[in-house]
C-alpha cells in the first residue's frame, strides 16, 4: 500500500505571504486541519489549526474579539508556519507513514517528490484506509475468529470454507490477540448468509467470537 494510491491529491495550500486569517477561513470552509505552505512550486512549511489556536491570545486577555481578529488579519503565514516539515515520498508505504505520524504525534504528512507537493496523508485518510482494510465499504458480514498463535496455516481453511460456500472474501486480516497465546482473525464476506461458513469453521475447531452484519 503506497502513499501515492491513498493520499489526498486535491490539497488546499497557502503561500508564505498569505494572511493567517484567510488560511483560518479556508480551514473552516474546507473542513480541514492542515494546510501545506508552497512557494514557487516547492513545499516550504505547514500550518495547522493547533498552530492558529496557539497563536490566538488567551481567553484571559483584555483584547476584544474585534481586536484579536485585527491582529490575526495582519499576521502572515510565514510568521506561524512550521518549517521543518515531516514528509514522505509517493512510494512510501502507508503503514510506515502511519507509524511515523503516531510516534511523531503529527496529524498530517505531505507527500512530496523532491520538494514538489503531490498530496497529503492525514488522520482522516488513515481512518479511511483502515476501513478499507477491514472491508467496511459495502454490505456484508464480519466474522471474528480466535486460533492458537503460530497456526497461520489455518488461514487456508478459512479461505476454503468461504470458497466452498460460494462466498467472496472482501478482507481477511490476522492480528495478535489480547488473549495470551492466541491470534485474532477478522474475516469480512460480501454476503449476509454465512451460516454454512460458520458451521464449517466451528467444525474445524475455530472459536467464533462474533458475527456482525454490516449494512
Q: Domain extents for the chain?
A: 3-130, 135-214
Q: Quick check: helix, strand or coil at residue 171?
A: strand
Mean pLDDT score, 9-17: 95
C-alpha 108/C-alpha 85 separation (Å) is 10
C-alpha 15/C-alpha 76 separation (Å) is 9
Q: What is the DSSP letter of 11?
A: -
C-alpha 13/C-alpha 94 separation (Å) is 22
Mean pLDDT score, 142-158: 81
pLDDT above 70 covers what percent of the chain? 90
- CATH number, domain 135-214: 3.30.70.260
- CATH number, domain 3-130: 3.10.580.10
Total-model pTM: 0.74
Mean pLDDT score, 20-29: 91
Taking the CA atoms of 136, 142, 144 and 145 in sequence, report the sign of the dihedral they define: negative
Output 54-62 pairs: Cβ under 8 A, ≥24 positions apart. 55/20, 55/80
Opening angle at CA 13, ends 10 and 17, nearest 5: 165
Smallest Cα–Cα separation from 162: which of 136, 127, 201? 201
Q: How confident is the model at residue 60 (pLDDT cuts 50, 70, 90)?
A: very low
Is the pLDDT at 54 greater than 80, yes or no? Answer: no
CA 78 to chain CA centroid, Å, is 28
CB-CB contact of 36 with 13 (8 Å): yes
C-alpha 35/C-alpha 176 separation (Å) is 36
Range with the largest mean pLDDT of 32-36, 71-75, 154-158, 160-164: 32-36
CB-CB contact of 213 with 190 (8 Å): no
Is the pLDDT at 53 greater than 90, yes or no? Answer: no
The pLDDT value recorded for residue 38 is 96
Q: How confident is the model at residue 64 (pLDDT cuts 50, 70, 90)?
A: low
The pLDDT value recorded for residue 62 is 52
The pLDDT value recorded for residue 5 is 94
Q: How confident is the model at residue 215 (pLDDT cuts 50, 70, 90)?
A: confident
Smallest Cα–Cα separation from 74: which of 128, 127, 130, 18? 18
- Strand arrangement, sheet containing 207-214: 169-176, 182-189, 140-148, 207-214
Amino acid at each position: 500500500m503506497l502513499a501515492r494510491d491513498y493520499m489526498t491529491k486535491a490539497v488546499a495550500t497557502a503561500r508564505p505571504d498569505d494572511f493567517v486569517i484567510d488560511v483560518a477561513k479556508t480551514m473552516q470552509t474546507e473542513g480541514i486541519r492542515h494546510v501545506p505552505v508552497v512557494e514557487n512550486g516547492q513545499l516550504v512549511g505547514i500550518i495547522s489549526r493547533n498552530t492558529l489556536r496557539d497563536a490566538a491570545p488567551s481567553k484571559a486577555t483584555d483584547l476584544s474579539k474585534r481586536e484579536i481578529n485585527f491582529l490575526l488579519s495582519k499576521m502572515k503565514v510565514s510568521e506561524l508556519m512550521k518549517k521543518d516539515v515531516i514528509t514522505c515520498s509517493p512510494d512510501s508505504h502507508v503503514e510506515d507513514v502511519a507509524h511515523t505520524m503516531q510516534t511523531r504525534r503529527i496529524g498530517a504528512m505531505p507527500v512530496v517528490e523532491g520538494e514538489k507537493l503531490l498530496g497529503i496523508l492525514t488522520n482522516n485518510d488513515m481512518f479511511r484506509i483502515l476501513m478499507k482494510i477491514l472491508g467496511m465499504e459495502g454490505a456484508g458480514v464480519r466474522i471474528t475468529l480466535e486460533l492458537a498463535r503460530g497456526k497461520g496455516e489455518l488461514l487456508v481453511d478459512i479461505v476454503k470454507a468461504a470458497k466452498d460456500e460460494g462466498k467472496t472474501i472482501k478482507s481477511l486480516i490476522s492480528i495478535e490477540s489480547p488473549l495470551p497465546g492466541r491470534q485474532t482473525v477478522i474475516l469480512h464476506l460480501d454476503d449476509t448468509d454465512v451460516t454454512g461458513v460458520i458451521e464449517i469453521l466451528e467444525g474445524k475447531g475455530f472459536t467464533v467470537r462474533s458475527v456482525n452484519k454490516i449494512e
